[in-house]
Amino acid sequence: MQVVIREYTGKGAKELFGVLEKNKADVEKLLRTVKGLVSYTLASSADGGFSVTVCQDQAGIDESIQKARDWVAKNAAHAGASAPRVLSATVITHLQ
């Protein structure tokens, strides 16, 4: 399994997460279409927030990144958030 963490901070990040929270049903529906999705978490923080996506393989991670990027561009570009810091890794263990 693979994991990607996308962290948004700085200018526009809080605004972006406000939009994401208001549209969380749409975001969840979109991410459920990612082939090989194991889990998805979206969390807000004091200065923005982050998402954690776990997929069966790198293809799923790549698809999730593209879908997230496209959704933000279409629905939240007005927030003016910078591109996220992206961390990718191989999962050692995963509990649910």
Q: State pLDDT tens for residues 39-79.
A: 999 999 999 999 999 999 999 999 999 999 999 999 999 99
Query: 51 by DSSP, 3-state: which?
Result: strand
The order of strands in the sheet holding 2-9 is 37-45, 48-55, 2-9, 85-90
pLDDT value for 84: 93
The rounded distance, in Å, linking the Cα atoms of 69 and 65 is 6
Output the DSSP codes for 7-42.
EEESTTHHHHHHHHHHTHHHHHHHHTTSTTEEEEEE
pLDDT value for 96: 81
Instruction: Answer for the pair 81, 12: CB distance below 8 angstroms, yes or no.
Output: yes
The correct answer on CATH 3.40.50.1580 for the domain covering 2-90 is no
Please report, as a single letter, which amino acid is at residue 21: E
Is residue 80 very low, low, confident or very high in pLDDT (cuts 50, 70, 90)?
A: very high
For the chain, give every domain's residue range.
2-90
pLDDT value for 52: 97
- In this prediction the pTM is 0.92
